[in-house]
Chains A and B, each alone.
Chain A
């Protein structure tokens, strides 16, 4: 598996995701700079990491979505290549319209950093094949703007197509407002495009990739991707 992590000015989870993928899959990870116009040759997976790219000025992810590298990322996605946007990376994917919808300020109107439980809604994707559908996993969140929003008809469409991969829930899997930290519609934490090769999620799998950090559920995502790439 060949992974490329895109670094924008203000990215701050780039090193974390590189470390997590390298340690848990035994592969090496390359980086692309926001001003680059091409991805390293042979890239299987592109990761848009968390952080505050361009200082979150204008809107979260809005400026990054217009940086030179994005064209290459879109092209990669168009050819069926895998793209994963985590937190700010998810916001970038929304701004580039590789994924539908928008994120709004959390219902608490504050930044929230906390461990979170998620239910894997669909394991039929390159990112989630190692999980079982309905499995409860723990990934932390850390964001100010994570309330996922989409007009009702588009939301129905998203649900109907099985594009919702992760939903916020309790440790036992119950879903309610009190277990939905940011107020996302339908408790949505992560979605894929229809082709299921582009995943965006607010929680951080790289922060759940080592027992010493208090969680290992993220490792399954890296291995799912690796297996999918190797099978291809």
Chain B
């Protein structure tokens, strides 16, 4: 077999041959082709990812495990990670999205954690395109169909539309899990003599080499790619969760890995490499759906709902008992060895013999050229005078923005998700820009914020990525949460395009620097490249999920909780930027200019004061200013609160920039009159502007806005 048929490059093939000191056979070649795909080994980004810092006193597990874990006190760890399932969702939206949810849940389960909440980042093409509508409906049904049945609530997410995702939508699934710290399961602790057990579904021909498929651009006709798609069964996943957690509690799991990309091969070789041991696998003992599967198919099958367990020999009866209780298959498929060889036996023959280190870590990094894209200088030549809106038009602009699918009500999506199962959901989808869950029988609340800002990343990748992190962090601070850690999903076009590779590097630099400055460790992540179709590449889309901890319910500041008679106060600089804003896109049909630069000191200052505001109960409601700017934020607060505001203040800059500009640490607070002195004390030295008084059923600023709540709400709901 030729190396290129296996998806290997010449230098990769040569490295394998040099290491083995022989010609790899067909099975070995196919295994290496998948294991050294971009999706499995992150070869194009390995070096860049070292920019991330995972340091923090709360960090229990960082990169290297299946997901990150942070300490939330009371002997509990919070495991979390976000992962993409973009290519499968483009080809088979229902199954692609469903198995994305299932896959990330198993990543969390692999740490011994009970999955407690999911969030989803969805990026769709132009909403007017019927193809977008079909893809979106399938993806949303897939997420709901899997998450609802498996009993993990979908508590929030992020939805973004741009024609740049037409044909290549993005599905990023984030999951959170809770684990008692003394029950955390590692993937690095296998010892010689222990058994390798496969728990869960039988292995079939579905999703063969899906990882390799995810590492190339999407073909124009994606029907050909259907055999690469995995089929999910949330019922089996639910049984697998309960069985795995029961085994965890019985103390029989030495080490565990989920089977995602590249199935048995990647999960077992990863454990072997990380534990610095060898492994012998008997493929004759793998329970199969079809009798005549080739060994390479068994090795690379991505059949869903399977876990790989390492157990002590004595514990096999316990595993059998638990697996039978939950009606799922299990089989001992091999054992751990002292000699660091990774051997696969089939029909009495050794069909593959590879060093575990080579499989996981050995892939040479390709040296893609990097070049700053020329379009940036063009894009940055933007004169704000080119974009103007008359005062009397600002109301109409607000209405139009509220109807924008990226900013409007998303209940048509999240109503299809069970957001409440497990009865921990304090703030589910739709209420505010963070989701909050309780920890049963404890005081702590966990907050999580998911953000992405592809437009600003397109205009200035470094600043856009930093702004993405800052947006998530600000929201957590405003609701009263201390930052715990960050996970990210890096969705980009082909790294083989020098300018895209440069953009990718800049975005990672922006994420890494901003996280370091905000003291937010990066504990897990995922990379998805080659998001391109014949229509071109996607927008640069680094998505981040940041978790935070609220000590107790009393320290949480609500959103959408304006009270009559309160003052409405704006905190933040008066001159945001229209570059890459929804407003600019709405009016000009394109984006230009440079977003606001990231200012660590301003961000930290804002977050400290916001946290203090929540803790001292100095406000009744707070909301960070994000997409659509101040005006959209005021409208959303008014709609959610069911009350209006009468504003009366001198606009400090050009009205349209003030109301629709984006970026920077800015928020609005509803402050009870008797709290205004302590509130101003907390914020003294920070730019503050008292906008008016919460009252009535209209949003009013003489000469600019006079809109009824009803009109705002019907526009926002697109009714």
Hey, which chain A residues are within 8 Å of B148, CB to CB?
A: 52, 111, 113, 142, 144
Hey, which chain A residues are within 8 Å of B705, CB to CB?
A: none
Query: A220 in the interface, Cβ–Cβ < 8 Å?
Result: no
Query: B327 in the interface, Cβ–Cβ < 8 Å?
Result: yes
Query: B631 in the interface, Cβ–Cβ < 8 Å?
Result: no
Contact residue among A12, A20, A50, A110 (Cβ-Cβ distance under 8 Å from B238): A12
Known contacts: A19-B423, A55-B234, A111-B148. The answer to whether A9 contacts B416 by CB under 8 A is no
Contact residue among B149, B325, B438 (Cβ-Cβ distance under 8 Å from A52): B149
Hey, which chain A residues are within 8 Å of B424, CB to CB?
A: 213
Known contacts: A12-B151, A207-B420. The answer to whether A52 contacts B144 by CB under 8 A is no
Residues of B113-150 whose CB lies within 8 A of A: 141, 144-145, 148-150
A215 nearest in chain B by CB position: B420
Residues of B222-241 whose CB lies within 8 A of A: 233-236, 238-239
Hey, which chain A residues are within 8 Å of B415, CB to CB?
A: 110-114
Query: B425 in the interface, Cβ–Cβ < 8 Å?
Result: yes
Instruction: Give Cα A41–Cα B676 distance, bound, in whole angstroms.
Output: 61
Size category of the binding interface on chain B: 20 to 34
Number of A-B residue pairs at CB separation under 8 A: 86
Instruction: Give Cα A140–Cα B415 distance, bound, in whole angstroms.
Output: 11
Known contacts: A51-B151, A52-B234. The answer to whether A16 contacts B422 by CB under 8 A is yes
Contact A16 B421 (CB under 8 A): yes
Residues of B326-347 whose CB lies within 8 A of A: 326-327
Contact residue among A12, A113, A140, A210 (Cβ-Cβ distance under 8 Å from B416): A113
Hey, which chain B residues are within 8 Å of A142, CB to CB?
A: 148, 418, 420-421
Nearest-CB distance from B304 to chain A (Å)? 13
A141-159 to B contact mask, C-beta < 8 Å, 1/0: 0101000000000000000
Instruction: Give Cα A182–Cα B360 distance, bound, in whole angstroms.
Output: 50
Hey, which chain A residues are within 8 Å of B145, CB to CB?
A: 111
Query: A137 in the interface, Cβ–Cβ < 8 Å?
Result: no
Contact B235 A57 (CB under 8 A): yes
Instruction: Give Cα A113–Cα B415 distance, bound, in whole angstroms.
Output: 5
Query: B381 in the interface, Cβ–Cβ < 8 Å?
Result: no
Contact residue among B144, B151, B426 (Cβ-Cβ distance under 8 Å from A111): B144
Nearest-CB distance from A122 to chain B (Å)? 27
Known contacts: A9-B326, A111-B148. The answer to whether A209 contacts B416 by CB under 8 A is no
Query: A13 in the interface, Cβ–Cβ < 8 Å?
Result: yes
Contact B420 A213 (CB under 8 A): yes
Hey, which chain B residues are within 8 Å of A20, CB to CB?
A: 423
Instruction: Give Cα A54–Cα B238 distance, bound, in whole angstroms.
Output: 10
A142 nearest in chain B by CB position: B418
Nearest-CB distance from A20 to chain B (Å)? 7
Hey, which chain B residues are within 8 Å of A13, CB to CB?
A: 151, 421
Nearest-CB distance from B504 to chain A (Å)? 37
B149 nearest in chain A by CB position: A52
Nearest-CB distance from A204 to chain B (Å)? 7
Query: A75 in the interface, Cβ–Cβ < 8 Å?
Result: no
Query: A40 in the interface, Cβ–Cβ < 8 Å?
Result: no
Instruction: Give Cα A209–Cα B420 distance, bound, in whole angstroms.
Output: 12
Contact B553 A12 (CB under 8 A): no
Hey, which chain B residues are within 8 Å of A110, CB to CB?
A: 141, 144, 415-416
A211 nearest in chain B by CB position: B553
Contact B420 A212 (CB under 8 A): no
Contact residue among A55, A114, A206 (Cβ-Cβ distance under 8 Å from B235): A55
Hey, which chain B residues are within 8 Å of A66, CB to CB?
A: none
Query: A10 in the interface, Cβ–Cβ < 8 Å?
Result: yes
Hey, which chain A residues are within 8 Å of B144, CB to CB?
A: 110-111
Known contacts: A20-B423, A52-B149. The answer to whether A9 contacts B418 by CB under 8 A is no
Query: B598 in the interface, Cβ–Cβ < 8 Å?
Result: no
Hey, which chain A residues are within 8 Å of B326, CB to CB?
A: 9
Residues of A20-61 whose CB lies within 8 A of B: 20, 33, 50-52, 54-57
Nearest-CB distance from A201 to chain B (Å)? 16
Instruction: Give Cα A194–Cα B553 distance, bound, in whole angstroms.
Output: 44
Nearest-CB distance from A232 to chain B (Å)? 29
Contact B238 A10 (CB under 8 A): yes
Query: A15 in the interface, Cβ–Cβ < 8 Å?
Result: yes
Nearest-CB distance from B481 to chain A (Å)? 16
Query: B417 in the interface, Cβ–Cβ < 8 Å?
Result: yes
Contact A10 B149 (CB under 8 A): yes
Contact A210 B423 (CB under 8 A): yes
Hey, which chain B residues are within 8 Å of A214, CB to CB?
A: 426
Hey, which chain B residues are within 8 Å of A140, CB to CB?
A: 420
Residues of B286-332 whose CB lies within 8 A of A: 325-327
Nearest-CB distance from A18 to chain B (Å)? 10
Hey, which chain B residues are within 8 Å of A57, CB to CB?
A: 235
B421 nearest in chain A by CB position: A12
Hey, which chain A residues are within 8 Å of B57, CB to CB?
A: none
Query: B10 in the interface, Cβ–Cβ < 8 Å?
Result: no
A108-121 to B contact mask, C-beta < 8 Å, 1/0: 00111110000000
Residues of B420-444 whose CB lies within 8 A of A: 420-426, 438, 440
Contact residue among B141, B233, B418 (Cβ-Cβ distance under 8 Å from A113): B418
Contact B151 A206 (CB under 8 A): no
Hey, which chain A residues are within 8 Å of B422, CB to CB?
A: 12, 15-16
Instruction: Give Cα A210–Cα B423 distance, bound, in whole angstroms.
Output: 9
Query: B531 in the interface, Cβ–Cβ < 8 Å?
Result: no
Nearest-CB distance from A200 to chain B (Å)? 19
Hey, which chain B residues are within 8 Å of A33, CB to CB?
A: 325
Q: Using A113-B420, A207-B420, A213-B424 as known contacts, list a sample of 7 further A-B pairs with CB atoms less than 8 Å apart, ordered by residue number in A.
A: A9-B238, A16-B421, A52-B148, A56-B149, A113-B148, A113-B414, A213-B420
| A and B contact pairs by CB, cutoff 8 A, 17 listed | A9-B327, A10-B239, A12-B422, A20-B423, A52-B151, A54-B235, A55-B233, A56-B149, A110-B415, A111-B416, A112-B416, A114-B415, A142-B420, A207-B423, A213-B420, A213-B425, A214-B426
Q: 4 nearest interchain CB pairs?
A: A12-B151, A55-B235, A52-B149, A16-B423
